[in-house]
Amino acid sequence: MRITDKMTQTQVLKNIQKNRSELATLQNQAATGKKLQTPSDDPTGAAKVLTNRTEEKNLQQFEKNIFFAKNFLETTESTLGQLADSLIRTKELALQAASDTVGAPQRSMIGSEVEQIKSAILEMSNRRSGERYLFGGFKTQTPPFTKDGEYNGDDGEMKIQNQKGSFVAMNLSGNRVFLGRGVGPDNTYVRPPVDVPEDTAQLQDYKLAEVDREFLNKQEDENYIETRGPASVGRVQTMSQKDPVTGNEGVNIFSLMQSLDVALKTNDKFAIQEALEPLDQALNQVNLMRAEIGGRVNVLNSATEGIHKQTVDNKSITSQIEDADLFETMTQLSKADTTLKGTLETSSRVIGMNLLDFMK
């Protein structure tokens, strides 16, 4: 095969370009610490890195959701703790007033303190976390309870996504906490669905189910019978353990406090004694809500731990694919530099030869 000067020059330039390109690539890896510079360097690895980065963004959003929900739930739990303390104090006062040794003046004084406790409970029912009311359901921008204890909110549950495919409710509706609606295993009050719609078809079914649920609950509200409580004046409180029509076991805390207040100020000893058991039921009702809050917080804490572990795993995998081994890179860089110098030295000798060098 005849080797021309043109072929030699082309081969020399090709080798020099190849060595310089390799040297530039290694220099870039050493400067950036990344061996994966473009998707063409490792298409499979690049796809995995992009997937991990997308997953990392999702995990960051999940962590933000959890932080916001935990703050809301912890504020709710703190409020319920104060509510439980208020009910315990009310029970202590009721026990004191139920004694035969206490007269009308003392009961009236106790009634004044119960009235103050009732006002404090009303303030708790309208408490906020930031700009959102805690117990209004979906209606977080308006006070859920009036000064008479009437509920203006709904039973909506605001849910946040704490991990892929998993949602946790971050609120309790005021009608459950303060009015006892939907409390107990045998009640007919229909709770909001647990599952969250994931597509248009499920969303449509969810809306239809919500219409049916609201209709059934409205009928249940119409059947709700409040029987005589202590000193039955004005609004009354269900004193039996279970509503005779709906089977509801919850306690309307506002009605209970109002009835007890009236009983104390009218010196109705028997009505005060009848209020003791409902006070225990009300305290159990609040403790049940606190337990539910605690369960949700535990779920969020567990999700946070899982997010942290998954974040570390993703970063480790991404580092293995994307990051350069500095020792190996510097070794290859030195080798490529030596190769380039050798190529330039030999190239000058080959290109410098011509026929006249041998015609002497």
- Could you list the residue range(s) of the whole structural domain that residue 100 is in? 53-314
**105-112 mean pLDDT:** 93
Q: Is residue 1 part of a domain?
A: no
Q: Is residue 201 part of a domain?
A: yes
Q: Is residue 153 part of a domain?
A: yes
Of 173-182, 227-236, 239-248, 321-330, the range with the highest mean pLDDT is 173-182
Evaluate whether 94 touches 278 at the Cβ level (below 8 Å): no
Residue 227, pLDDT score: 42
Q: Is residue 345 part of a domain?
A: no
Q: Rounded to whole angstroms, what are the CA distances from 84 to 53, 136, 240, 292?
A: 46, 19, 21, 15
**221 pLDDT tier (thresholds 50, 70, 90):** low
- CB contact burial 155-194 (16+ within 10 A = b; e otherwise): bbbebbbbbeeeebbbbbbbbbbbbbbbbbeebebbebee
Q: Is residue 26 part of a domain?
A: no
Tokens, residue 9: 């020059």
**220-244 mean pLDDT:** 45
Evaluate whether 151 touches 174 at the Cβ level (below 8 Å): yes
Evaluate whether 265 touches 108 at the Cβ level (below 8 Å): yes
Residue 255, pLDDT score: 93
128 forms beta bridges with 133
Q: Is residue 94 part of a domain?
A: yes
Residue 333, pLDDT score: 75
Of 22-31, 45-54, 249-258, the range with the highest mean pLDDT is 249-258
Provide the 8-state DSSP code for 267: T
163 forms beta bridges with 166
Whether residue 81 has pLDDT greater than 70:
yes
Give DSSP secondary structure letters for 269-291: HHHHHHTHHHHHHHHHHHHHHHH
Q: Name the CA dihedral angle for 288, 289, 290, 296, rounded to a multiple of 10 degrees.
A: 110
Of 15-29, 222-236, 279-293, 335-349, the range with the highest mean pLDDT is 279-293
* CATH number of the domain that residue 304 is part of: 1.20.1330.10
For residue range 159-217, list pLDDT tens digits in order.
999 988 889 999 999 999 999 887 765 455 556 665 666 667 766 766 666 666 666 66
Residue 245, pLDDT score: 39
Q: What is the pTM of this model?
A: 0.72
**Phi and psi at residue 132, to the nearest 5°:** -110, 135
Q: Residue 316 carries which side chain, given as an amino acid letter?
A: S
Provide the 8-state DSSP code for 313: H
Domain count along the chain: 1
Q: Is residue 293 part of a domain?
A: yes
**236-244 mean pLDDT:** 43
**147-162 mean pLDDT:** 90
For residue range 1-46, list pLDDT tens digits in order.
666 667 777 877 887 788 777 777 777 777 777 777 777 777 888 8
Residue 216, pLDDT score: 64
Residue 263, pLDDT score: 93
For residue range 302-349, list pLDDT tens digits in order.
999 999 999 999 888 888 777 776 677 778 778 877 887 787 777 776
Evaluate whether 27 touches 351 at the Cβ level (below 8 Å): no
Q: Is residue 219 part of a domain?
A: yes
For residue range 183-195, list pLDDT tens digits in order.
765 455 556 665 6
